[in-house]
Structure 1
Amino acid sequence: MYDLTGFQRDLLYVIAGEEEPHGLAIKEELEEYYEKEIHHGRLYPNLDTLVDKGLVEKGQRDRRTNFYTLTRRGRRELEARREWEAQYVDL
């Protein structure tokens, strides 16, 4: 998890918070959060990186639409990150 960009970590949080989101749903969530457009050329290569690292699994809903879910490893990494953050941030 330490080698991910902030954008990649945000992708993990969005994927964890949705039920098998597709790429455009993830894009819309991040655009709302960042308050700017997220280009496909940024989104999909970063999703592929998370798949390659074994943190996210990509499935196919139909011939045109993929969906994304966290792997067990992805969920463990996200939980470890939240525990680490909790040491420093007490809201």
Structure 2
Amino acid sequence: MQDLTGFQRDLLYVISGADQPSGQDVKEEIEQYYSSEINHGRLYPNLDTVVNKDFVEKGQLDRRTNYYAITDEGEQTIEERQAWESQFLD
């Protein structure tokens, strides 16, 4: 996960916590967290990056809508990140 940006890590967490969210679902959740609008030019290239790194699976819900699902590798990556972070917390 060390080669992911913070934004990409946040995408993994959002996708992991949802049941096959659409890109729009991910966008809405990320916008709530960041308290600002996230444009498509930022969101979808970053989603493609986590898909290309096999952390997320991308599928089709219908002709216009894709879904995203965390992979086993993505889950393991999140767990490793949480373990690493926890060593710095009380």
Using structure 1 for the length normalisation, give the TM-score: 0.97
**Distance across 1 between alignment mates of 2:72 and 2:22:** 19
The equivalent residue for 2:3 is 3
Deviation at 1:78, TM superposition (A): 0.6
**1:50 corresponding residue in structure 2:** 50
Runs (5+) with no aligned partner, structure 2: none
For residues 7 and 89 of structure 2, the distance between their equivalents in structure 1, rounded to whole angstroms, comes to 20
Indicate the SS of the match to 2:58.
strand
Aligned residue in 2 for 1:22: 22
Q: Which residue of 2 aligns with 1:86?
A: 86
- Which of structure 1's runs of 4+ aligned residues deviate more than 6 A? none
Gaps of 5+ in 1: none
Deviation at 1:64, TM superposition (A): 0.4
State the SS of the aligned residue for 1:67. Answer: strand
| 2:39 paired residue number | 39
User: How many angstroms apart in 2 are the aligned matches of 1:89 and 1:40?
Assistant: 34
SS at match of 2:87: helix
1:89 and 1:43 map into 2 onto residues whose CA distance is 30
Give the Å deviation of 1:51: 0.6
CA displacement at 1:86 relative to structure 2: 0.7
CA distance in 2, matches of 1:27, 1:77: 21
Distance 1:89 1:44 in 2: 32
Which amino acid in the other structure matches residue 25 of structure 1?
A: D
Deviation at 1:89, TM superposition (A): 1.6
**1:46 counterpart SS class:** helix
Question: May I ask how many residue pairs the two structures share in their alignment?
Answer: 90
1:82 positional shift: 0.6
